Each structure stands twice: as C-alpha cells, then as structure tokens.
Structure 1
Amino acid sequence: MSEERLNKLEGYMEQLIRMVADNNKIVSGLQQEMKEERKLNQQRYDEFREEKHLNQQRYEVNEQRYEEFKEERQLNQERHEVLLTELRKQNVDTEYLRNQVSKHDLEIHRIQMMK
C-alpha cells in the first residue's frame, strides 16, 4: 500500500477511535441516567407501596368505624322507638288526667249549682 493510503487509513482509524470513545462516553452517561432512573423508580415504588399500606390501614379503620356507627345507629333507633313509646304513654296519661280534671270540674260545678 502506498504511504498516502496508509496515512488516510491511519486518519480514519484515529477518527473511528474518537467516535468509539465518544460513543462509549454517551453509553456510559446513558447507563448512569438509567441507573438514576431505576433508583428514582424504586423510591417511587417504595413510596407507593407505603402509601398503599397506609391507605389499607385507613380503609380498615374506616370499615371498623362504619360498623361501630351501624351498631350505634341501631341502638339510637331502638332508643328512639322506646322514647316514642314513652311519649305516647305520657300523652295518653296526660289526656286521661285532663279528662278526669274536666269531670271533677263538672262535678264541682254541679255541686256548686245545687247549693
């Protein structure tokens, strides 16, 4: 081969070596970025799992509260029924007493009229 061709090939080889070096830098940078991305994704995933766990705990607490509220509602409903029954009895008793008072007033009025 001629000297000129060898120099040209040598130039191409140097250029190729620089291109490979540049490519290696880019690949290394991309690998580092991917590593950082994986790390961030793992952190996000861990945070997500923790949040999911907390949400599950909140859900269980809310379910328990709901059951307690259902029981309390049932008790309140029963108390309400008892109070309504008592109120009705009181109203009946009051009405009876009013009638008795009216009867006695009439009796008193009759007795006074007879005198």
Structure 2
Amino acid sequence: MSVLVAASSSAEGRAALAAGVTEAQLRGTELLWANLGSDPVPDVTAAVGDLPAREVQLNPRMDKVDAFLDSVVAEDVSLVVMGLRHRSPVGKLLLGSMAQRVLLEAEVPVLAVKAR
C-alpha cells in the first residue's frame, strides 16, 4: 500500500506534496506522486527527504485524470492526496474540475488540502 499525491508546481500541488509526505510517514509506507500539471514539479527530493518515494508516469495518450485513476489501482494505493483551490460555480461549469473527478471516482479515500 502507498500514498499517491496529485502533484503540480502550483501552491496547491506543493501543499498536497507536503501533506502526502506526512501521511506516508504516519502510515510507514511509500510515497508516490504523479504530475497533473503542465510544468515540472519542483523540489520533490527536498520535500520527500529520506522517505521511500518515486514518481508515477502517467500514460500520455490518456486523459490525465483517467490515467491518474488507473494508477491508483495499478500501484495499490491506499490514499490519494490532492490540493484544491477555490473556484466559482461558473468556473467549475465552464472548465470542469480534475479535483472533482478524482474525489468522485477514486476507489480509495482522498485527502483534499488547501494551500495556505
């Protein structure tokens, strides 16, 4: 079992990585992360420290959320950690929401965190 973080270079993505590190340490398990953003995730090594961790590569030919959810099953994940940001109802309607899909479709518990 492992903890999978939906990481990105945003403040929400960094908050999710920090929360994921804490959860993996508490559970004594491996930390996995997948980049759901368009830019590289910075400073992962510094954030992870000595914790066993690795990046999960998402299938580039799939929708990012579908590939992420497939990784939850394939990697035997026990918890997903992801960052959330406040969006207006209209913004959610027009642009959709990766977070909403993960929250509704993941087969394991999801810890949603906000950036400070």
TM over 0.5: no
User: Under a length normalisation based on structure 2, what TM-score does the superposition of the two structures give?
Assistant: 0.17
User: Under a length normalisation based on structure 1, what TM-score does the superposition of the two structures give?
Assistant: 0.17
Which entry has the higher C-alpha Rg, 1 or 2?
A: 1
Higher RCO (CA 8 Å, separation ≥ 6 residues): 2
Name the structure with the higher helix share.
Answer: 1
Name the structure with the higher strand share.
Answer: 2
